[in-house]
A and B are shown apart, each in its own frame.
Chain A
Amino acid sequence: MSKKPAQPAAPADDAHQAATAVAATATTMDVVAANPLRDPRDKRLPRVAGPCVLVLFGVTGDLAKKKLLPAIYDLGNRGLLPPGFSLVGFARRDWAHEDFAQVTYEAVKEHARTPFREEVWKQLSEGIHFNPGEFSDDGAFDCLAMMLKEIDETRGTGGNYAFYLSIPPKFFSQVVEQLKRTGLANAPDGSWRRVVIEKPFGHDLKSAKELNATVNVVFPESSVFRIDHYLGKETVQNILALRFANELYEPIWNRGYVDHVQITMAEDIGIGSRAGYYDGIGAARDVVQNHLLQLLALVAMEDPTSFDADSLRREKEKVLKAVRLPHDLSTGTVRGQYTAGWQGGESVVGYLEEEGIPQDSKTDTYAAIKLEVANRRWAGVPFYLRAGKRLGRRVTEVAVIFQRAPHLPFSKDDTEILGQNALVIRVQPDEGITVRFGSKVPGTAMEVRDVSMDFAYGEAFMESSPEAYERLLLDVLIGDPPLFPHQREVELGWKILDPIEDHWATHGRPDGYEAGTWGPPSADEMLARDGRVWRRL
């Protein structure tokens, strides 16, 4: 520990001060109360992370280059990183600190969202370190431990480390073991150690539990931050604001008015270079288990007593526990696999022709599932979830479709083309909210047609919204967990998905759908059986 109180004037006082000096490391509620310069009314002052080191495993990966390193720079640019903040890269590369700094520099130049400023880069680059080595190499981790100790002394980071495992889960156990062996996982009094992991959190309930056990042996649950980057998105957080800060929506947000809910995550790309990971996993495990179920939880949950992690997670868990699968899984679920076709003006190959995919692969690149939420608010309202690759275009949205008006005092011809009212939360791209309702077509006849009213984030609050990873990284460094799913939520997700995957494994093959279309015909039939249609996106 590098911090020593300066020339103690009153020893007893100072001993106390030194103890709390290291404990208080970020702008948490207690710190605000104790800090004479902070005031809850002073909203100009941002929450700032305390002195700390971020150790990044897997710096050569795509995620690090495109998202994490730029997000760190952006945080610095917004003045949210503490002075002395240090970044340590760990990878199997023969690099010096400068090489890693160069890699970071290029990633920042190319992908950062805020303008490049020399002084911000200077501040950041002074704290950039690199530790070469393999995960199996004890020496490399001993080096890392020494390097971190040295950084504490030269940069005053106070023994606060966050370990970001941007690596395949199969290496988790090795890395956390090494962190345990070198004592890096154990925080001395008054400092913290956190570990950040990315999806996939297992591929079924059993593996998720095993993975969690691996990490939990070394890090307690409160130190584990699971990143579901959807929860870092402004629009997703806005679901809570929309529902619980307004009086307009909540009274109709129930089975009395809602006909059904559609949650869609469509991608226009294929599997690209992810064949190795994707095959055998599929769309349902890849995105439905985490992102789509999180969206469902936020849309369907009751109001939390407060927005702290505990209350929020409790409500999400309650709703996930209330999720019921369709009785007949063969009519209530659909899986598809894209075949060759035209996507956005380009001729693309089918899934089975992608490089590295076995000819007999039964992996689903499209999944549609009908779920019910068995509680008083939602009984009888189906939630249709769909996710797929090589669909018409890239769009993620939650659409709450309302019931038709109970009585229409117009002639049938007047309202022939009137659809159902809908409230759509557009998650990406073009974040915003759309409300669809009927309106009179100008003219002498009474003709009612659907129109939409739009709120675009890009218009009302331009450029100020931070990237999902920025927000989540800051929350990790501050130690603020509400936006990170708890292991219980992960397990509940698998409890919903496992029976479906089991069913699929024993029943035939995925239905083919041409690339660039909106999934297999069986998905349309699934909704048609309920007298409904998918939204045309």
Chain B
Amino acid sequence: MSTFNLTDTTASKISATLTKLRHSMGAPAIGMVLTLVVVCDEGNQYDAVKAATEAAREHPSRILIVINRDPREPSRADAEIRVGEATPGEVVLLRLYGELTKHADSVISPLLLTDIPVVVWWPGGAPAKPAEDAIGKLGSRRITDALAATDADKALRSRSAGYTPGDTDLAWTRLTPWRSLLAAAFDQPMGKVAGGVVEAASGNASAPLLAAWLSYRLKADVKVEDSAGPGLTSVRLTLASGGDLTVERGDARLATLSRPGQPTRRVALARRPTAELLAEELRRLDPDDVYHETVRHMAEQSR
């Protein structure tokens, strides 16, 4: 992998350097499928870049990392360009200073690849209305992560108010294996569900979403309760016909599924690294209506 540093630079210089690098490597136009813009700070930059480059293995992309630095300094943009074997695409780390921190979009938009989707990801703090954010506006898909918010519950509810098609949250993505398992269990009719409980470590961002989804889809009251963790530990649904359908996971890896009249079974249900979550997000770029309905339901319930 080679790294190139451009200090006090502009978008056109970065663009020219990228083109030059690609030509000199003998790959003038490799099939990149999207531009991924990551808005983060110096603290979570390392993890975000790592996850994004790993996800890029499945979805070759140009990855633009925007890091805002001291706004009191004179306006300046520094770029660090990484190309090479480790990533199928290209990575540009942009460090912005001074007034430019408020106009990051002016650096980003000339660097977007033409006519292919743009995805914006905030691994840390995110704007309340991602679609109205200057950088968020550039994306057709905007990924937030409620896990990073101090009050995940509140963050998710506010997402409902600012929802625009294309918004999604990694707290929702983390639920896919759980939802998939529960949906598979319901492939065999269960009849009505009287109520349920989702248990998770205190403050878990995904638990209220799962409860909201279940309660919305099953038209039943589903509560969230605290457990010792780690993460989500159990879902218990009380069936109207008697008995419980339960999924329990104590070790964040292997779960047991039990339901009335059937043997208890173990199912792999491991937590997934961020790169995998991101790859799942990038797989489908159409609006996630089910996510929308779930956050809306969550907001309505708590009103």
Contact = CB atoms under 8 A, between A and B. Distances in A.
Chains A and B are bound partners = yes
A35 B31 contact: no
Contact of A25 (B182, B188, B270): B188
A35 B186 contact: yes
Interface residues of B, number: 53
Interface string A126-137: 100000000000
A462 B240 contact: no
21 contacts: A2-B263, A35-B189, A36-B217, A38-B187, A42-B179, A44-B173, A45-B180, A45-B183, A76-B268, A83-B266, A84-B262, A84-B265, A118-B253, A119-B268, A122-B268, A156-B265, A459-B31, A459-B88, A461-B58, A462-B57, A462-B60
B60 A31 contact: no
A448 B176 CA distance: 53
Nearest to A154: B263
A96 interface: no
B31 A6 contact: no
Contact of A462 (B88, B185, B188, B267): B88
Interface stretch (B17-25, B67-75, B283-291): B283-291
A126 B30 CA distance: 44
Contacts of B182: 37
A333 interface: no
Contact of A14 (B179, B241, B263, B280): B241
| Interface hub of B33, B177, B188, B280 (most chain A Cβ within 10 A) | B188
Interface of A: 2-10, 13-14, 17, 20-22, 24-27, 31, 34-39, 41-46, 48, 50, 76-77, 79, 82-84, 117-120, 122-123, 126, 153-156, 455-456, 459-464
Given A83-B181, A117-B268, A462-B57, A5 B261 contact: yes
Given A6-B241, A8-B241, A463 B57 contact: yes
B191 interface: yes
Contacts of B92: none
Contacts of A24: 187-189
Contact of B254 (A35, A119, A463): A119
A155 B187 contact: no
A456 B88 CA distance: 13
Contacts, number: 155
B177 A37 contact: no
B260 interface: yes
Interface of B: 30-31, 33, 57-60, 88, 173, 176-177, 179-189, 191, 214, 217-219, 239-243, 253-254, 257, 260-263, 265-270, 279-280, 283-284, 286, 288-290
| Interface hub of B184, B241, B243, B270 (most chain A Cβ within 10 A) | B184
A238 to B, nearest CB: 15
Contacts of A119: 253-254, 268-270
B60 A459 contact: yes
Nearest to A465: B58
B267 A83 contact: yes
A311 B179 CA distance: 33
A41 B219 CA distance: 19
B32 to A, nearest CB: 8
A6 B242 contact: yes
A461 B261 CA distance: 43
Contact of B243 (A7, A39, A44, A123): A7
A402 to B, nearest CB: 24
Nearest to B266: A123
Contacts of B184: 27, 48, 50, 82-83
B187 A26 contact: yes
Contact of A35 (B187, B267, B268): B187
Nearest to B242: A7
Contacts of A117: 268, 270
A8 B288 CA distance: 38
Given A83-B267, A460-B60, A37 B284 contact: no
B231 to A, nearest CB: 14
Contact of B241 (A17, A48, A460): A17
Contact of A83 (B60, B257, B279, B283): B257
Contact of B31 (A31, A46, A455): A455
